[in-house]
Amino acid sequence: MSERINSANNDSPPSGTEWDILTNYTPQTEITNATKSGRKIEQLGYAKEIPKFADQVSDASRTQAIEYEASTIAQYGRNYDATRTITEHQALVELNDFLTSASSNPKIDESLRQEAAAMTDSLTFIGHKEFVEGAAGLADYWKSHLDDDPKNKLLIQLMSEAGSNNTSGITKSDVFLLDEIMRNFSDEDVEKYAGRLFRQPDDIATIAGEENHLKVIVLDDWSISGEQMRSTQRGILVGRWDRNDEYYVTPEINLLVGKQEQIEHGFQYLGSGDPVPMKAYYTARKDARFAAAGLDVGEMGDYRITGFYSSVDYGFEAQIGDMVAQSGGELIMPPLTNIKRPYREESYTPENVERVFGKTQHEAESDTSSEYQQAA
């Protein structure tokens, strides 16, 4: 099992009964006991707040390599050949410099200048450190459920697989996250949890009489699109356990980073329907200046979220692309936009997912199709 990165946890103990119920949790500079973060997620809904963007910018130990296209326009996730490789630290420094410059550029609309200024303070960035630590924390949370009772089971659905969210066949970032989570399941863990850890609904023969022991997880890295969430809320497990079925199991959304309101109250699309419970390793940073800028960024509201492995299009890269366009040639797209997504590479294989679960039928058919095309 690969070494985990244990980042500093400087959070002060929360007050009141929420902290009192965490009888096994002791504040410390590092997470040294795996179950502590899992228990904290279980009880509070999250483990910690994401680090401040300014602190991430100043962290010179961030040496993860990032490939991106140094372009004058936003590419919106298009599969392209990267033109530059840079460390995460340098990428953060250059992004911060870009946002600082854009926030005071008179050629750029006031609303976008406000957006740039707010990002320098409150951008939620999932760096490599946060990604590895958060994945380990979610793994701890899942193991905690399995360890609580030998009858307990977990069904892990990806957001891109649930409902009708992904009809393109393109690998999504939730696969990348699941693979990192599964890195924290050793071969001994796989043997220990045999017959209780599933990825497809059809893998579970029946839940009659065991519905209280089954936790259905819908996994994604962050919540951006309410429409995507709604599709999942409507579509997950339809045809298997209908909403009116006495054995219906309410799914729970698990995220690497989530919005505080959704963690506290669950997800509802435009306030309709029953809320879907949501838990996350990190809470995102909130800043009222984002919504106050008046930009049309839908349900992102007071949040801006992106990551080292996938630059978010709407609410991040699109707005930065507008800043570049309005600068009259003074600015180009900075690092951490137009990122070459590692999970889109033809050579990418979610090795840990396959080690723990084996290949899904869809993946096996894709491999067969690729072999056929090569032979042809």
Decide if 251 contacts 157 (C-beta within 8 A): yes
Instruction: For residue 103, count other CB atoms closer than 10 A to its CB.
Output: 18
Residue 253: inside a domain: yes
- The number of folded domains in the chain is 2
Report residue 172: phi and psi, to 5°: -105, 170
Residue 65: inside a domain: yes
131 and 263 both lie in a single domain: yes
Strand partners, 252: 217
189 and 255 both lie in a single domain: yes
Residue 36: inside a domain: no
Residue 10: inside a domain: no
| Euclidean distance between CA atoms 44 and 110, whole angstroms | 38
Rounded (10°) CA dihedral 122, 125, 127, 132: 100
Amino acid occupying residue 369: S
Question: 149 or 173, which is more confident?
Answer: 149
Decide if 201 contacts 155 (C-beta within 8 A): yes
Per-residue pLDDT at 250? 75
Contacts of 118 (CB under 8 A, 6+ apart): 287, 289, 290, 293, 304
| Nearest alpha carbon to residue 306 among 90, 62, 126 | 126
185 and 59 both lie in a single domain: no
Confidence bin at 95 (pLDDT 50/70/90): very high
Segments forming the whole domain that contains residue 120 = 53-126+286-343
Q: How high is the mean pLDDT of the chain?
A: 77
Residue 7: inside a domain: no
Question: 346 or 371, which is more confident?
Answer: 346
| Nearest alpha carbon to residue 342 among 216, 121, 179, 116 | 179
Question: 75 or 7, which is more confident?
Answer: 75
Per-residue pLDDT at 274? 73
- pLDDT (tens digit per residue) in 7-47: 333 343 333 333 233 333 333 333 344 447 898 999 999 99
| Euclidean distance between CA atoms 334 and 338, whole angstroms | 8
Task: Out of 111-120, 245-254, 302-311, give the one with best mean pLDDT.
Answer: 111-120
Contacts of 91 (CB under 8 A, 6+ apart): 66, 68, 308, 334, 335, 336
Confidence bin at 347 (pLDDT 50/70/90): confident
Tell me: pLDDT of 223 over 50: yes
Per-residue pLDDT at 272? 59
268 and 225 both lie in a single domain: yes
Confidence bin at 168 (pLDDT 50/70/90): low
Least confident residue range of 233-247, 294-308, 353-367 = 233-247
Tell me: pLDDT of 318 over 50: yes
Tell me: pLDDT of 148 over 50: yes
Q: Is 133 left (phi over 0), alpha (psi -120 to 50) or beta?
A: alpha
> Span 290-310, mean pLDDT?
82
Tell me: pLDDT of 176 over 60: yes
294 and 203 both lie in a single domain: no
> Span 211-234, mean pLDDT?
72
179 and 318 both lie in a single domain: no
Decide if 267 contacts 233 (C-beta within 8 A): yes
Per-residue pLDDT at 315? 82
132 and 113 both lie in a single domain: no
Residue 362: inside a domain: yes
Question: 202 or 151, which is more confident?
Answer: 151
Instruction: For residue 101, count other CB atoms closer than 10 A to its CB.
Output: 16
229 and 250 both lie in a single domain: yes
| Nearest alpha carbon to residue 137 among 46, 199, 57, 220 | 46
Confidence bin at 267 (pLDDT 50/70/90): confident
Tell me: pLDDT of 241 over 90: no
Q: Is the dihedral of CA 64, 67, 70, 74 positive or negative?
A: negative
212 and 355 both lie in a single domain: yes
3-class DSSP state for residue 9? coil
pLDDT above 90 as % of the chain = 42
Decide if 302 contacts 315 (C-beta within 8 A): no
Per-residue pLDDT at 225? 55
3-class DSSP state for residue 300? helix
Per-residue pLDDT at 312? 84
> Span 192-217, mean pLDDT?
79
Report residue 209: phi and psi, to 5°: 80, -5
> Span 362-369, mean pLDDT?
50
Per-residue pLDDT at 24? 35
Confidence bin at 78 (pLDDT 50/70/90): low
173 and 262 both lie in a single domain: yes
172 and 241 both lie in a single domain: yes
Is the pTM above the cut of 0.85? no
3-class DSSP state for residue 231? helix
Residue 4: inside a domain: no
